[in-house]
Structure 1
Amino acid sequence: MENPPPGQCNQENDSDCCKDGKWYTTYKCSPPVSSQTKATLTRNSFEPDGDGGAPSECDNQYHSDDDPVVALSTGWYNNGKRCLNYINIHGNGRSVRAKVVDECDSTMGCDSDHDYQPPCPNNIVDASKAVWKALEVKISCAS
């Protein structure tokens, strides 16, 4: 892997940028899905010039961060079989229904299509600001 070109990795939601010489683990599978499957919630912008990179895989469109939309790790994305379907996300004693619009690629990264970010782990629900707001998840910034 190599460092992204200057200014080419958008760190809008505390996104990691690929590091020169670092190797990243990739995954093709995700944990089995049930009503109790645990996932790691990350934040992503699905808007143009957001840290999500290219338009969403499901519909080749950008989406407002005010809409409850998500990208799923490659295994859960399941070759697009969950595209434009809704999932229920539970956390903080609350729940939200969000539309699957994209893949959080667990097999590739560190290129312009992936905003020069590393591959996703296999248990990611990469969610818009609207999902975080509905779950009342607080965002803290490191100082």
Structure 2
Amino acid sequence: MATTSAIRVLYVIPLLILVILHEPGQTQAFPYRSLLQTCQPSGSIPGESGNCNTENGSECCQDGRSYTTYDCSPAVTGSTLATLTLNSFAEGGDGGGASACTGRFYGDDQMVVALSTGWYGGGSRCTKNIVITAASTGKSATAMVADECDSTTGCDEEHNFEPPCRNNIVDAT
């Protein structure tokens, strides 16, 4: 029931924005055009359970369940919202294999992140720093992009038998 309500909100809000955009007599361009740009699911994959490391509260795939995939992420602006998740980039940690950017592992004391597929951009952000700011406190931290949080595949050994990442994930140590 809660999922249905969330879906309704996603469809109602853009409709209201479009109505405001096309209101008679409005001559000024809509200043929040980026709100109209969304990243829609690209498909789904079937779940397959396996030996899932739950070190940082990882969600593990379940046999027969369907998981949504994304080829894109929301547009990056100065105020793009993301979900921060915890991950271990250490060998044997819940992050799976070595970093896609450098081919190495990182200790949990190093400031590194994995970005959802769309933000990862095929590796275009590898080894670049990003600034993460907490919306609630305004505190920020800088971390290096070391890996992709794959939004297109998952539920296999390479991905710790975890589902694909949502399209707005910054997965950090």
Which residue pairs with 2:157 in the alignment? Answer: 112
Unaligned runs of 5+ in 1: 129-143
Whether contact under 8 Å (2:113, 2:144) holds in the other structure is yes
Mark the runs of 5 or more structure 2 residues left unpaired by the alignment. Answer: 1-46
Letter paired with 1:56? S
Shift of 1:102: 0.2
Which TM-score applies when normalising by structure 1? 0.86
Counterpart of 1:85 in structure 2 is 128
Does the alignment pair 1:101 with 2:141? no
Question: What are the Cα deviations for residues 42-70 of structure 1, in whole angstroms up to 9, with x where unaligned?
Answer: 00000011000010100110001101100
Q: Which amino acid aligns with 2:94?
A: D
Name the amino acid aligned to 2:158: D
Q: Distance in 1 between matches of 2:77 and 2:89?
A: 26
Q: Any idea what SS the aligned residue of 1:77 has?
A: helix
> Could you tell me which of 14, 32, 50 is aligned with 2:93?
50
Using the alignment, how far apart are the partners of 1:110 and 1:78 within structure 2?
22
Matched to 2:166, the amino acid is: P
Give, in whole Å, the separation in 2 of the partners of 1:113 and 1:87.
25
Q: How far does residue 35 in structure 1 lie from its aligned partner after superposition?
A: 1.3
Please give the root-mean-square deviation of Cα atoms over the aligned residues, in Å: 0.6
Helix, strand or coil for the counterpart of 2:147? strand
- Report % sequence identity: 57
Between the two structures, name the one with larger relative contact order (CA 8 Å, sep ≥ 6). 1
Q: Which residue of 2 aligns with 1:134?
A: none
- The one-letter code of the counterpart of 1:30 is S
Alignment of 1:5-16 (within 5 A): 8-16=51-59
Runs of 4+ in 1 over 2 A off after TM superposition: none
Task: Look at both structures and tell me which one has the larger radius of gyration over its CA atoms.
Answer: 2
- Residue in structure 2 matched with residue 65 of structure 1 by the alignment: 108
Q: Distance in 1 between matches of 2:49 and 2:130?
A: 35
Deviation at 1:2, TM superposition (A): 2.1
Query: SS in structure 2 opposite 1:24?
Result: strand
Spell out, residue by residue over 1:16-55, the C-alpha distance to the aligned partner (whole angstroms, 9 max, x if none): 1100100000000000001110000000000011000010
